[in-house]
């Protein structure tokens, strides 16, 4: 058979390799799919995709422990969480986690949280910053209050309107309990 000839895939007649259709049966003269370059490129891309998906899912199996530690620490809010992150980067295992974890929360407590009392009740005071880049029409902070035995005995709450992007709010959360509390813990800062 001539170098420039081939068998028609449809009828078996000898036809020119360059022919677009078989002169005998009219079938399109196409290379079989496995002889096409793009077919093999596609296979290689798929293999790479499968391999990278496999490796990223294997690194994901490490994450639950890490996120478990983080969620345990979220009670104490941002400083502890970022401390946990640096511990993770020291492991050097998941570089992809660092940017995600370093993202600032929508609201962060700036500086110390302290308590002050008057004749009637106790307040929890501090400063909260709006990190969202948008004005928040309503922001609320709540603390859980505990007695000396660790029983929750109430909450302390404050809220504000129209907190500017990057704005700081000096809050004064009023303890909503008739008893005096021995300790408190940040429960939530939420806003919209």
Binding site for Zn ion (CB under 5 A): 8, 10-11, 13, 22, 24-25, 27
Q: Rg for the chain (alpha carbons), in Å?
A: 33
CA–CA dist 38, 42 (Å, integer): 6
Identity of the residue, 22 or 156, whose beta carbon is nearer to Zn ion in the bound complex: 22
Identity of the residue, 21 or 187, whose beta carbon is nearer to Zn ion in the bound complex: 21
Angle made by CA atoms 108, 190, 179, in degrees to the nearest 5: 90
Least gap, CB of 100 to Zn ion (angstroms):
58
CA–CA dist 59, 93 (Å, integer): 8
Identity of the residue, 10 or 144, whose beta carbon is nearer to Zn ion in the bound complex: 10
Least gap, CB of 45 to Zn ion (angstroms):
33
Least gap, CB of 3 to Zn ion (angstroms):
19
Identity of the residue, 10 or 73, whose beta carbon is nearer to Zn ion in the bound complex: 10
DSSP letter assigned to residue 187: E
CA–CA dist 73, 32 (Å, integer): 60
Question: What is the sign of the dihedral through the CA atoms of 104, 110, 112 and 114?
Answer: negative
Least gap, CB of 51 to Zn ion (angstroms):
41
């Amino acid at each position: 058979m001539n170098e420039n000839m081939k068998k028609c895939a449809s009828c078996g007649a000898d036809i020119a390799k360059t022919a677009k259709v078989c002169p005998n049966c009219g079938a399109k003269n196409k290379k079989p799919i496995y002889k096409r370059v793009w077919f093999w490129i596609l296979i290689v891309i798929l293999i790479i995709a499968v391999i990278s998906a496999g490796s990223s899912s294997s690194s994901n199996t490490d994450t639950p422990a890490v996120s478990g530690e983080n969620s345990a620490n979220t009670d104490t809010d941002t400083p502890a969480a970022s401390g946990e992150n640096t511990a993770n980067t020291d492991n050097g295992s998941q570089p992809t986690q660092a940017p995600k974890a370093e993202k600032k929360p929508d609201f962060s407590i700036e500086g110390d949280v302290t308590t002050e009392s008057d004749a009637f009740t106790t307040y929890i005071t501090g400063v909260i910053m709006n990190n969202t880049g948008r004005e928040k029409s309503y922001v609320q902070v709540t603390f859980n209050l505990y007695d000396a035995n660790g029983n929750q005995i109430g909450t302390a709450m404050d809220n504000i309107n129209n907190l500017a992007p990057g704005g700081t709010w000096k809050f004064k959360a009023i303890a909503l309990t008739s008893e005096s509390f021995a300790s408190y813990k940040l429960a939530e800062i939420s806003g919209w």
